[in-house]
C-alpha cells in the first residue's frame, strides 16, 4: 500500500494516504458494532470526478449493459459539473453483499472520515430494512448485473440480432420500466390463485339467514379474461402475453424489469 499522499495538497490541509483510510475504517467499523449496527462487509473504491460521473450515470453499478441513454446521462452530468451548475456526491453506496461505496479522491481526510461513517449507516439500512430484504438479494446484485450486461452484449454482437434490434426493445422497455409493483409486501398471486380468489369472491360470504332470503344468483367469473386481475408489472405482462416476441426480446424485458425493481427499493425509501 503506497504511503504517497493522495489528497490534501491545499495550504493548511493535512495530507493523507490509503493507510489513514484503512485505520479510520477499522475505528468506524468498531464504533458501528458498538452501536449495534448489523452491516454487510464493506468495500471502498477511490475515484476521481470522471469516475464518479461514470458511476452516477450507471446508478453506481460497476458493470451495466450498454445503452445510449447512459452515455447521454454521463454527458449531461459532466456538462453541468464542468459549468459549475451541479456538484458531485461525497459518496455513492450500492446495496450489495459486500456493499460497495465510491469515495471522491480529492476529499480531505476529515471529509472521508465523515463519509465512511455515513456509508455504514446506509449499509445497515440496506441489510435490515424490510423493503430491501423483500425486494432484492444483495448477495447476487453484482453478479446479476454482470450477467445481464453479458447477455445484452451477446445479443448486440449476434449478426442475426444486432444493436438496432436490441436498442429498439430497450428504448421501449425503459419507457415502461417504472410501471411495476412498488409494494413488495403484498404477494403477487399466481394465475391459479387468482382464479381461486375470483371463484370465492363470486360465491360471496355465507349468509346466516339464507333460509328466509331469496336465493343468491352466483355469477360465474370469466376465467378467460386476460389479465384476470389488474397487473402492475407491465413489462412482465407484455413478455408473457405477446406471442410475437422473440426469446432475446423477452429476455431484454426481463432484464429491465429486474433492474427497475432493484432501484424501486431505493426510490421508495428515499435512499437515492
Residue entry with cell 402475453: 241
Cell, residue 140 = 447476487
Tens-digit pLDDT profile for residues 172-214: 999 999 998 887 777 888 888 888 877 777 676 676 777 677 7
**Strand order through the sheet with 99-104:** 42-47, 99-104, 91-94
Cβ neighbors of 53 (< 8 A, separation 6 or more) are 74, 77, 78, 81, 88
Tens-digit pLDDT profile for residues 220-258: 777 777 887 888 899 999 999 999 999 999 999 999 999
E strands along 125-251, which residues?
none
pTM, whole model, 2 decimals? 0.81
Residue entry with cell 454521463: 74
Q: What is the mean pLDDT of the chain?
A: 85
Q: What is the pLDDT of residue 34?
A: 95
* C-alpha closest to that of 113 among 11, 6, 29, 13: 29
Domain ranges of the chain: 18-128, 143-187+233-268, 189-231
Amino acid at each position: 500500500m503506497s504511503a504517497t499522499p493522495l489528497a490534501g495538497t491545499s495550504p493548511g490541509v493535512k495530507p493523507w494516504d490509503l493507510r489513514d483510510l484503512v485505520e479510520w475504517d477499522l475505528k468506524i467499523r468498531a464504533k458501528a458494532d458498538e452501536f449495534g449496527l448489523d452491516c454487510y462487509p464493506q468495500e471502498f473504491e477511490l475515484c476521481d470526478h470522471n469516475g464518479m460521473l461514470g458511476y452516477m450515470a450507471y446508478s453506481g453499478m460497476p458493470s451495466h449493459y450498454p445503452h445510449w441513454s447512459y452515455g447521454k446521462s454521463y454527458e449531461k452530468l459532466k456538462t453541468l459539473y464542468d459549468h459549475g451548475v451541479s456538484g458531485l456526491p461525497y459518496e455513492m453506496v450500492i446495496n450489495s453483499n459486500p456493499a460497495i461505496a465510491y469515495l471522491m479522491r480529492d476529499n480531505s481526510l476529515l471529509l472521508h472520515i465523515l463519509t465512511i461513517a455515513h456509508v455504514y449507516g446506509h449499509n445497515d439500512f440496506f441489510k435490515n430494512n424490510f423493503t430491501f430484504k423483500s425486494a432484492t438479494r444483495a448477495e447476487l446484485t453484482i453478479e446479476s448485473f454482470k450477467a445481464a450486461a453479458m447477455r445484452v452484449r451477446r445479443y448486440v454482437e449476434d449478426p442475426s440480432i444486432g444493436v438496432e434490434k436490441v436498442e429498439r426493445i430497450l428504448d421501449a422497455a425503459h419507457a415502461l420500466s417504472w410501471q411495476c409493483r412498488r409494494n413488495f409486501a403484498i404477494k403477487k398471486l399466481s394465475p391459479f390463485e387468482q382464479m381461486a380468489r375470483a371463484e370465492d369472491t363470486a360465491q360471496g360470504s355465507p349468509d346466516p339467514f339464507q333460509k328466509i332470503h331469496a336465493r343468491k344468483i352466483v355469477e360465474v367469473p370469466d376465467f378467460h379474461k386476460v389479465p384476470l386481475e389488474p397487473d402492475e408489472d407491465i413489462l412482465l405482462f407484455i413478455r408473457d402475453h405477446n406471442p410475437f416476441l422473440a426469446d432475446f426480446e423477452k429476455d431484454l424485458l426481463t432484464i429491465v424489469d429486474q433492474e427497475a425493481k432493484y432501484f424501486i427499493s431505493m426510490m421508495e425509501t428515499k435512499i437515492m
